[in-house]
Structures are given as structure tokens and as C-alpha cells.
Amino acid sequence: MENGHATTHGPAEEIAGRLALAIHEHRLAPGTKLSEDELGAIYGVSRTVVRAALQRLSHERLITLRRNRGAFVAQPTIREAREVFEARALLEPRTARSAAERATPADIARLQAHIDEEHRAMSAGHAGLALRQSGLFHQEIARIADQATVAEFIGQLVARSSLIIALYWQRRAALCESHAHHALLTALADHDGDRAEELMKGHLLDLVSSLDLRSLPSAPRSLREALGA
Amino acid sequence: MENGHATTHGPAEEIAGRLALAIHEHRLAPGTKLSEDELGAIYGVSRTVVRAALQRLSHERLITLRRNRGAFVAQPTIREAREVFEARALLEPRTARSAAERATPADIARLQAHIDEEHRAMSAGHAGLALRQSGLFHQEIARIADQATVAEFIGQLVARSSLIIALYWQRRAALCESHAHHALLTALADHDGDRAEELMKGHLLDLVSSLDLRSLPSAPRSLREALGA
DNA sequence: TTGGACAAGGTTGTATACAATCCTGTCGCC
DNA sequence: GGCGACAGGATTGTATACAACCTTGTCCAA
């Protein structure tokens, strides 16, 4: 129910979810090594289960699996970052339009709750948690559009965006998403598909603008790159 | 190189690829049970490796993993079928436009090769192989557009479409894709983005039209459904 | 001093063993 | 005869053991 994933829930899914949340909230930095033994000890399961969880996250591009080396929190390249937001630009605006046409009062309430949580987290200084709520806002819109397949893609893209923000966000940019989210919410509540689509498009462009995709990542992918040749 | 998947290749990837191909070519019918022991015996590996492959395919929605029950070739519902083609409608037309703007003569040649293979397979009566080539045509366009992230999504959607066709294709529909593909190829060769986008949109609509998404699946998901209450 | 070869330690890759769960056929009872 | 409980067999879920590989530190030779 919570996850929407088709089949049954196993311990591996549970662990994958916890790790995904930690990555999403920036508690695990890009590049962090995820040792199988260590994770097994933490969660009280064997490496078998941990490996299943890691494989899953690898497929979602949240971690990178390198053969005989282990698992690392992913470090999207600048190119990947651009691609992720181009994919979002393809999917989310028209999904927002569909959502506007279908949104019920209960849906609007759920969206408002995410905005509230985002505000609260930001006030409390939990930027990671605020980002998480912001991501849930986007996923909720996809869910309202009643397109599970697209929603799944968007969920994955949102998660990867969190990694991208961790690497490329330039602090001077405001990243005050709740403003844009509030405008979107209003459009959805008014069932104004045109405006919702346009707002989402602009919101995604703003997001990309708040990134610095010209310079090197703030936590560089390789020492060679970091130290300049 | 062949797969484009980021990291290294293991035996599990190999097996997953072979199974995916078999599903894509309709050599494995929707609903078929995939026993771990059996697959392990076939490919000469232990269940550990088989399980990794199955997990991967499960995430691509090509198979369904049911806890304590095993793995089965997926049987997309009518709803899922619609969603998959709606997602494709969101992604592929604009990707075709990008591809038209970037296509090189070598790209065109590769696309032509897929069309030729599709023809040859169809003439030889290998409908499954023809369908596979048709899918590769779509994936190749995504690759030409130079959007790896979107291309990955499209690849997954194309694979799922193959399952959908296996379940819902109505024989009376021609499904002569090579015609539409040839027109697309011409638009791409002419760098005519507008036409490519429009052609792809129409092609996808034709595809949906060739399906029967009103009736029950030809290989029904459950006996209860098949025998009517 | 510098360079490569080598060995020790640790981590991942795979196979196997055991436990838990499900399916199915049979038996007993109503 | 029909229905429910139960047991046997089979399959999956998980843990553990061993093999393969990478990393890294040390040693020796140039």
C-alpha cells in the first residue's frame, strides 16, 4: 500500500527503502561505500539479504555496483544530471496536467501536508528532510494522475535528483521550492490543467537553474578529476 | 558496450539478458513459471546467480516475483498496457524529434539494418524475431537522441510492450510496423524534427489501435477471470 | 631513492546447506 | 458423497562456507 510496488514485501525491500531514504535525505553522501558486512550487522541480516537490497538500489541508479569492489552511493555526472532533468521535463508537466484534471479534495489535502512538512523541516534546519518532502510532493502528483508506470519513473528521477542536488546545488540559489509548490497546488485545486503544466515546466527549469552544471562536482567523482589531471 | 548499463558484466546479467530476449521474442509466454533450480541447471550456475537475474528482470517488470511462490513471466493487465503506451507517448515523440536533429548517416544505416532484419524475419515467419527488431528500432532512436536516461526508460517500455502484444494483439490488425518505421527513418534522415515527432506519435497510436484492450487477455491472468466469476 | 614483485588481509562472488512456506494428495469425519 | 484437516513433497528464503579478486603494505633489487 505504501510503496505501490506490485508484489510482496520482504526484508530486502525494507532495507532498500531505509537506504533510499537515507540517500534521499542526504544522510548518505555520494561516493560513500556501502559494505555488505557492515550493513548486514546494522540491520541484523545476512549478506544475502543486503545484496538483494543493493541490487535493487543499483537498478534505481541510487548506488553504483562495481564488480569485486562493492557498492557506493551514486555520483551522477553533469551529463547524467542534465539527462535526468530532461527526462523530468518530458514526463512531469503533462503528468501535472492530468493530475489537475483528476485531483480530489483529499488529494489536495495530501499535497498541502507535504508542503507543510517541508516548511516545518526547513524551519527546523533539516534541509534533507525538507528535500524529501519536496520529492514526495512531486511523486504525489504523479500518483494523482493515476499513471503508476509514469509515477514510478518520476519517483526514480526524483530520487536521482536528490543526489544531483547534493553534488551540484549552488548555495547562493534559493531553492525555495515551497513557493512553486504552493502555486502548483492552487492550479491543481482549480483543475487548471494548462496552468499546472506550465507551472511544472517552469518549476523544473528553475530547479536546473539552481544547479551549477558547469563546474566540477562539489564532491568529486575521482581523485584524478579533483586534483586536475 | 552492448548493453550501455553502467557497471561491469556478471553472469547474472548474462542470464537476465538471455531471459529478456526469450521474453521479447515470445519464446516465453506470459505466465510461464521460471523455476530457480531449473534455470540454474540450464545455465550451469547456482540458484544464487539465478536469483540475481530474476530480481533484475522483476525490477524491469518483465517477470513477477511472488514471495514463496517463485518467478513468473509477467502478465500486464489492460490497465498496465494502457499506462505503458501512455508513457511511451510522453517520451518517444519528443525523443524522435531530438534524434532527427542529431542523426548521422551511420545512425541512419543502423536503423535501416533493423528494418531489413525485421523484414527478413517476418518473411521467414519468425514473428518474434521481427518484433524484437522492431523494438530495437525504437531503442536505437532513443540512443541517437543521446539521452541515456530516457533511452533506458524507453527500452523498458518497449520490452513490456512485447508482453502486452503477446497478450492483447488482435490478429486481424496488420501490425506492419516496417511501413511506419520506414517513414520515420526518412524523416530522421531529412533532419525533419517536426515530422519525426508527428510520425512517432501516430505510430504509437496505431500500435495501441492494433491491440484489443477491451476484452479479456488471450492468456488470462487467473482462472477465476477466465471462467467468468 | 625508486621501481616493481610479492604476500597478507579484507571484501566480494558463488555454491551449498538448512529452515520456512506453499502446494497437493490423502485420510478421516460429518 | 462432501468437506475439512493433515502430512509428504517440492520450492523458495536465508544463512553460512569457501573461492576468487582487489587492495595495500613490505621487501628487494636496480
Residues 38-77 of chain B in contact with strand C via CB under 7 angstroms = 44-49, 52, 68-69
Give chain A's domain count. Answer: 2
Q: Which nt has its C1' nearest the CA of A66? A: C12
d(CA A43, CA B192): 55
| Of residues B170 and B35, more confidently modeled | B35
A66, part of any domain: yes
CB of A191 within 7 Å of some strand C atom: no
Give the end of a domain, one of B73, B90, B116: B73
Where residue A4 falls (left for φ over 0; alpha for ψ -120 to 50; beta otherwise) is: left
Tell me the pLDDT band of A62, cut-offs 50, 70 and 90: very high
CATH label of the domain that carries residue B42? 1.10.10.10
Q: What is the pLDDT of residue B226?
A: 59
CB of B67 within 7 Å of some strand D atom: yes
Averaged pLDDT for residues B110-126: 93
Give the end of a domain, one of A73, A89, A113: A73
Tally of CB atoms within 10 A around B45: 17
Percentage of chain B exceeding pLDDT 90: 81
Q: Say which residues have a Cβ less than 8 Å from residue A76's Cβ, sequence separation at least 6.
A: A30, A61, A84, A160, A163, A164, A167
Cα–Cα distances in angstroms (integers) from residue B185 to residues B138, B151, B175, B195, in the given order: 11, 18, 18, 11
d(CA A3, CA A1): 6
Tell me the pLDDT band of A226, cut-offs 50, 70 and 90: low
Contact across the interface for A7 and B55, Cβ inside 8 Å:
no
Examine the domain organization and report whether A48 and A27 are in the same domain.
yes
Q: What is the pLDDT of residue B214?
A: 83
B191, part of any domain: yes
Closest CA to B26 of B167, B211, B201: B167
B119, part of any domain: yes
Examine the domain organization and report whether B126 and B40 are in the same domain.
no
Closest in A52, A90, A147 to B150, CB measured? A90
Q: What is the pLDDT of residue B3?
A: 35
Closest CA to B134 of B167, B91, B179, B95: B179
Whole-number average pLDDT of chain A: 90
Chain B interface test: which of A3, A78, A90, A157 (most B C-beta within 10 Å):
A90
A64, part of any domain: yes
Averaged pLDDT for residues A36-52: 97
Q: What is the pLDDT of residue B5?
A: 39
Examine the domain organization and report whether A190 and A140 are in the same domain.
yes
Q: Which 169-188 residues of chain A touch chain B by CB within 8 A?
A: none
N residues, chain A: 229
Averaged pLDDT for residues B14-35: 96
Can you tell me whether residue A123 is helix, strand or coil? helix
Residue position matching grid coordinates 548521422: B104
A23, part of any domain: yes
A3, part of any domain: no
Examine the domain organization and report whether B50 and B138 are in the same domain.
no
Percentage of chain A exceeding pLDDT 70: 88
Examine the domain organization and report whether A28 and A109 are in the same domain.
no
Residue B101 has pLDDT above 80, yes or no: yes
How would you label A154-179 residue by residue, b for 16+ Cβ within 10 Å and e otherwise?
A: bbbbbbbbbbbbbbbbeeeeebebbe
Whole-number average pLDDT of chain B: 90
Can you tell me whether residue B34 is helix, strand or coil? strand
Averaged pLDDT for residues B62-78: 96
Which nucleotides of strand C lie under 7 Å from a protein CB? 11-17, 21-23
d(CA A61, CA A42): 23
* Least Cα separation, residue B205 to chain A (angstroms): 17
d(CA A184, CA A203): 9
Domain that holds residue A138: 78-209
Q: Which chain A residues contact residue B55 at CB under 8 A? A: 52, 55-56
Q: All 3 cell numbers of residue B202?
A: 501516430
d(CA B98, CA B12): 34
Half-sphere exposure of A213 (CA within 13 A, CB side): 18
Residue A220 has pLDDT above 70, yes or no: no
User: For strand A70-73 and strand A33-34, is the pairing parallel, antiparallel, or unpaired?
Assistant: antiparallel
Q: Which chain B residues contact residue A65 at CB under 8 A? A: 7
In eight-state DSSP terms, residue A25 is: T
Averaged pLDDT for residues A218-228: 56
Examine the domain organization and report whether B50 and B84 are in the same domain.
no
Q: Does B36 touch chain A (CB under 8 A)?
A: no
- Pick the residue from chain A with its C-alpha nearest to B94: A90
d(CA B132, CA B208): 17
B2, part of any domain: no
User: For strand B33-34 and strand B63-66, is the pairing parallel, antiparallel, or unpaired?
Assistant: unpaired
Q: What is the pLDDT of residue A8?
A: 66
What residues pair up with A169 in beta bridges, in sequence order? A211
Residue A216 has pLDDT above 70, yes or no: no
Examine the domain organization and report whether A136 and A151 are in the same domain.
yes
Strands (E), chain A: 33-34, 63-66, 70-73
CA of A72 to C1' of C12 (A): 13
In eight-state DSSP terms, residue B31 is: T
For residue range B176-225, list pLDDT tens digits in order. Answer: 677 899 999 999 999 999 999 999 999 999 999 999 888 655 555 565 65
Residue position matching grid coordinates 534546519: A125
Q: Say which residues have a Cβ less than 8 Å from residue B211's Cβ, sequence separation at least 6.
A: B81, B164, B165, B168, B169, B170, B173
Examine the domain organization and report whether B23 and B117 are in the same domain.
no
In eight-state DSSP terms, residue A72 is: E
Averaged pLDDT for residues A49-68: 97
Give the end of a domain, one of A73, A88, A116: A73
Q: Does B72 touch chain A (CB under 8 A)?
A: no
Rg, C-alpha atoms of chain B: 18
For residue range A161-212, list pLDDT tens digits in order. Answer: 999 999 999 876 666 677 899 999 999 999 999 999 999 999 999 999 999 8
Closest CA to A30 of A88, A89, A78, A72: A72
Examine the domain organization and report whether B152 and B48 are in the same domain.
no
Distance of CA A104 to the CA centre of its chain: 25
CATH label of the domain that carries residue A113? 1.20.120.530
Examine the domain organization and report whether B140 and B169 are in the same domain.
yes
B1, part of any domain: no
Q: What is the pLDDT of residue A4?
A: 35
Examine the domain organization and report whether B53 and B149 are in the same domain.
no
Examine the domain organization and report whether B194 and B87 are in the same domain.
yes
Q: Which nt has its C1' nearest the CA of B50? A: C14
Residue A93 has pLDDT above 50, yes or no: yes
Q: All 3 cell numbers of residue B104?
A: 548521422
